[in-house]
Amino acid sequence: MSSNTLIVEPNAQGNKGVTLITLNRPKALNALNSEVLEELIAAFAAFEADPAQLCAVVTGSGEKAFAAGADIKEMIEKQSAEFYLEDFFSNWTGEIVKKVRKPWIAAVNGFALGGGCELAMMADFIIASEHARFGQPEIKLGVAPGMGGSQRLTRAIGKSKSMEMCLTGRMMDANEAERANLVVRVLPQDELLGDALKTAATIAAMPPMAAIANKEMVNAAFETTLDQGLIMERRIFQILAASEDKQEGMAAFVEKRGGQWKGR
């Protein structure tokens, strides 16, 4: 399954339940133009709607980039009024973050700059190759992050580092990103995709409702007070306790066998 700017592979490389979405504009370092956005929205909607697909991985084609940002050649043509009236960039959070309840991972294989870094940070977590470079260089273009960089980067790595990155536009290499907790781990380039798919397959093999609920709970930590978050966590736990998969999961543990999930 492919489109102009993406390669979409359900059950990628034999990993049941894992959809691999590859950004595929390597000559433009996978820059994120409107076509990529539309196609990503469609790919995520199809992933979300397919009960057989349970975790996704997003990566970039080519050796050089995950995505080098929003497409500057597209944006140079637009004036402030168009950006404002179209509420430009709002669909990234609205359609790709809020509507995707199933887990997904960013496998960052090279430059993740501007919108590329922001897309990676929309994922539930990031795995990076040694070639990964992260940055919010928008200031050098006379603008500022527009797809969540100032907010998600600050929440991920703290104020000082985020402020320095946004104000200088400098890039952070993969090892610094790991030390700063922006990425889960760093791997040699040729091991990145295999590791991301294997991790996604582990998640896809979990009870599906519990996977969605765990994602919802962790994300709530960024939106609520501790008290409200703890109440939400208990309620979700209590709801999950009524699921058939809870009964099966606990019986499977006691009987020393693998669980057979129903997804309800």
Task: Provide the binding-site residues for ligand CAA, judged by CB under 6 A.
Answer: 28-29, 31, 68-73, 89, 111, 113-115, 118, 137-138, 141, 145-147, 149
Least gap, CB of 57 to ligand CAA (angstroms) = 22
**Both structure tokens of 187:** 């791997």
Active site residue 115: yes
| Whether residue 70 lies in the annotated active site | yes
Largest CA distance in the chain: 64
Helix axes 244-254, 208-220, angle to 10 degrees: 110
The side-by-side arrangement of strands in the sheet containing 185-187 is 6-9, 18-23, 55-60, 104-108, 125-129, 185-187
CB of 189 to ligand CAA, least distance (A): 16
User: Residue 92: CB partners within 8 Å, gap ≥ 6?
Assistant: 37, 115, 118, 119, 122, 147, 148
The minimum distance between CB 142 and ligand CAA, in angstroms, equals 10
**CB 24 → ligand CAA: shortest distance, Å?**
14
CB of 113 or CB of 186, closer to ligand CAA: 113
Catalytic residue among 115, 116, 146, 148: 115
Catalytic annotation, pick one of 118, 120, 128, 213: 118
The single residue of 138, 177, 196, 205 carrying the catalytic annotation is 138
CB of 116 to ligand CAA, least distance (A): 7
118 included as an active-site residue = yes
The closest of 58, 66, 98 to 215, measured between CA atoms, is 98
For residues 91 and 243, which CB has a smaller minimum distance to ligand CAA in the complex?
91
Quote the DSSP letter at residue 96. I
Q: Which is nearer to ligand CAA, 45 or 141 (CB)?
A: 141
* Strand residue runs (E) in the chain: 6-9, 18-23, 55-60, 65-67, 104-108, 111-113, 125-129, 133-135, 172-173, 185-187
Which residue numbers are catalytic?
70, 115, 118, 138
